Amino acid sequence: MAWSGNRGGGVRRLFDPASGRPGAMVFETNLLHQLRDWARKVAEGDEHAPRVILLVGGPGNGKTEAVEATIAALDASLGCDGGLVSTLATSYHPPEGMPVPRFVEIDAGSLSSPVRTLRLQVVQDASVGGTAARPPAQLLVEELGEAVSSPGTLAYLCCVNRGVLDDAMIHAIDSDLPDARELLEMIARAVSQTAEAPACWPLEGFPNVGVWPMDAESLAEPTEAGDAPPAEAILARAIDATMWSVACAAGPACPFCRSRKLLSASRESASLLKMLRWFELATGKRWAFRDLFSLFSHILAASGTPKARVALGPCDWAAALVEADQRAAGRPKRDTSAALFWLVSAQYQHALFHSWDWTLASSLLKDVKDLGLHETNNTAMGLCYFLQSRASGYMPAMIAPLLDDMDHLLDPALAPPEHEVVLWGGNVPLGDFDARFSRSVREGLDFAIRTRALSQIERTLLERLADLDELLGTPHIRRRRPTAATRVQRAARDFACRITRRSVGARQAAVPDAALLDRFHRLVTDADGRGHELHEVAIQVEDLLNNGANFDVSLSTTFGQPMPPVRSRAILEVSRRRVYAREANVAGRPSPSLCFLNVEAGGSSQPIAVTYDLFKAVSDLERGLSPASLPHSVLALLDTTRARMAGSIVRDKHVQDRPTIHLGDSLTIERHRGRFIARKRGRRP
């Protein structure tokens, strides 16, 4: 529970073993391997090793852990026997009442064996410190200027976020510091994700500077050294059976112990990690360490906890709900009627995909009251109470936006019915569940039991929903309000089907567009095998950008303006522009997270990123989608690319093909043997 980002485990303080290290271990990344190698080279006196290191990223990306691991590696490489680490630890733990210093400099060479000349400067967080007269951005500019101009006897290690970098660049421009401006502009370009981003390590044009964008690499991918993905290592630590209580107070009904047992299986854990990576690919976002710690804390220890039960541990909370469910008799009450619903929703599958139409609660409650079930039926009222509890306040604020996006993109309840899952007895299309639950909850439940698709508490909940469904079909209930009974039946069947789909689908990554996401994953990560796939995307994008055999440029409008009537248009028509795959720039940079295409534009080329939206649109076009039905994000990307191409084309004085200008609906102007010739359409010049 302490792994969550809003608790003490979410913030790491330098050289403080008791803070911010969930799992009490370091999770390996490509950057850690690179920093350890850098520490070794510095200790060996390698002249080619950068002396200025900038780790760029937002909060929760592991910058503090990277600094501490680097200092430890430098201590070992210099033969300091722990002296370097202890000296820095003392500096970062000042006496009570004194602030933690922003900038620490020590004589590392005097602590090494043998003694040498080496000064070490560490800035653990460049966004803190400073005064009104000298803000952090100005301090960063001054420190970088000194570090870059210093001889090879200085090592400067700094953690900085992008906002401070921008402020530092503004300060360099306003203060007319051309050298600092050039360096900061190159750093800003290097940590971007654009197609023309230069090398980071060493920084292009600055061989003594190394920069690394910590939010560029995915924590759901294996490291280049062959280590397991950091997300997998974190999950393995979270579900380590030796760290869990042997005797659970809730017994087999505990959703958290059930989730731990499920995720201990290779299929379920691999499916979860796959969905986390697919989320990154579909949204362009990256899971930070703090996000992953908070996520696993949420799905394994704190899901669905009502505010009144926050003080209880997970298993004790589950035991309290089991007891409350057993007391559910007589007039329905919120705490007892909804207890089983809360237990089911606490399983990791339903914590990941958590959304329910809570706006249905008020109308559903009215129907239940009209049917006279509000005083006797705990299942009907439990469903109402549960939907009401989903309005707000049941998810940690730190990861709520990420989980909302994940639920929107990857909800197994929305997976296509033809998607097959492997259950007891063979492959089962998800549509088989839809067909059975649409007829009755009982029929769907019997099928789910035969295929062993559900946990014990899920079966218990669906058994009660099946009883409610059958009760709503009896004459003495339906004759009161037949329409209301039908609506409640529909809600119960839909709820039961969604529970089943999410339970099965999350365990096997049966999500919307799973095959397409898998293809896109291979395209992004497999640099050697992406050629044919990327070539097919390039052909489709070329067809979208061009107008048949020509490329049209509007001369009478600017970007974003609607086209005028035909009589007022001025169109420049040139030959078709080609689109082809662009080679990824991997030298001295993190593994690329995007593929790019090159588009011919005048005498140069324009890069266009192959986002998941564009890749999906191209796949939809292959299946017959009309270009007019493309998503707004894809249309905006294409329009922006056309506008950039048009700017290059109209300014190209050496265009090789024959340009033609169409004015209105009747006049055409062409260049012929160095002369411009105008003619009416359909007539000779």
Domain ranges of the chain: 8-213, 230-512, 519-680
Predicted pLDDT of residue 351: 92
DSSP structure class, residue 338 = T
DSSP string covering 52-117: EEEEE--TTSSHHHHHHHHHHHHHHHHT-TTHHHHHHHHHTSPPTTSPPPSEEEEEHHHHSSS---
Q: pLDDT per residue over 11-41, tens digit each?
A: 667 777 666 666 667 788 888 899 999 999 9
Position 654 scores a pLDDT of 64
Tokens of 167: 């402020």
pLDDT digits (tens, 9 = 90+) for 499-519: 999 999 999 999 999 999 999
Residue 342 has pLDDT above 90, yes or no: yes
| pLDDT value at residue 308 | 45
Mean pLDDT for the stretch of residues 358-372: 92
**What strands lie across the sheet with 154-160, from one edge to the other?**
103-107, 119-123, 154-160, 52-56, 209-213
375, containing H or E segment: none
pLDDT, residue 386, reads 93
Cβ atoms of 173 and 179 closer than 8 Å: no
Could you please report the per-residue DSSP string of 143-199? HHHHHHHS-TTEEEEEEE-HHHHHHHHHHHHHTT-HHHHHHHHHHHHHTS-STT---
Yes or no: say if 223 and 231 are a contact pair by the CB < 8 Å rule.
no
The token duo for 573 is 């028509």
**pLDDT at res. 226:** 85
Taking a C-beta distance cutoff of 8 angstroms, is the pair 441, 309 a contact?
no
Q: How confident is the model at residue 303 (pLDDT cuts 50, 70, 90)?
A: low
pLDDT at 529 (0 to 100)? 52
Query: CA-CA distance, 424 to 507, in Å (whole number)?
Result: 14
pLDDT of residue 527: 56
Confidence of residue 151 (pLDDT cuts 50, 70, 90): confident
Distance in angstroms (rounded) separating the CA atoms of residues 351 and 562: 45
Q: Are strands 595-601 and 604-610 parallel, antiparallel or unpaired?
A: antiparallel
Mean per-residue pLDDT for 580-586? 80
Contacts of 507 (CB under 8 A, 6+ apart): 262, 267, 268, 271, 349
Is a pLDDT exceeding 80 seen at residue 8? no
Backbone angles phi, psi at 679, to 5 degrees: -150, 155
Cα 334 from Cα 340, distance rounded (Å): 11
Rg (CA), the chain: 31
Tell me if 654 sits within 8 A of 607, measured CB to CB. Answer: no
**CB–CB of 414/497 below 8 Å?**
no
Mean confidence (pLDDT) of the chain = 87
pLDDT at 601: 77
441 Cα distance to chain centroid? 36
pLDDT tens, 454-503?
999 999 999 999 999 999 999 988 887 899 999 999 999 999 999 999 99
411 pLDDT more than 90: yes
* Terminal C-alpha separation, the chain: 81
Q: Which residue has the higher pLDDT, 129 or 578?
A: 578
- Measure the CA–CA gap between 56 and 187, rounded to whole angstroms: 9
Q: At what angle do helices 314-326 and 255-263 cross, to 10 degrees?
A: 130
The yes-or-no verdict on residue 314 having pLDDT over 90 is no
What's the average model confidence in pLDDT over 636-659? 77
Q: What is the CATH T-level fold of the domain 8-213, as seen in this structure?
A: Rossmann fold (3.40.50)
**Mean pLDDT, residues 333-345:** 92
Q: How far apart are CA 138 and CA 519, in angstroms?
A: 46
Average pLDDT over residues 618-622: 87
439 pLDDT higher than 90 = yes
Confidence of residue 684 (pLDDT cuts 50, 70, 90): low
Mean pLDDT of 447-453: 94
Token pair, residue 241, equals 């059976």
